Amino acid sequence: MLGKLAGAWLGEKIVGENKGAKGAILGYGAASLARRSVPTLAALAIGGWAYRRWRDKRRGAPSYPSDASPS
């Protein structure tokens, strides 16, 4: 609940004066969207990092004999 209130307050400050509830609604929506998307983005980032490590480790050790490469 505190995140929703902080998002609404921040949205109101960004929009400025004389805009009514527009900023508060935008801030509340941004807080709700962040709550849903941040865990997904974190999972994607961790998955990408793990895939890159696996790929780099796999590239480091060739699976063919050294005499098979063209000279």
As a whole number of Å, the CA-based R_g of the chain is 24
Is the per-residue pLDDT at 50 higher than 70? yes
Global pTM value: 0.44
pLDDT, tens digit (0-9, with 9 covering 90-100), for 7-46: 766 766 666 665 667 766 777 777 777 777 888 888 889 9
Number of separate helices (H) and strands (E) present in the chain = 2, 0
Q: Where are the domains of the chain?
A: 2-59
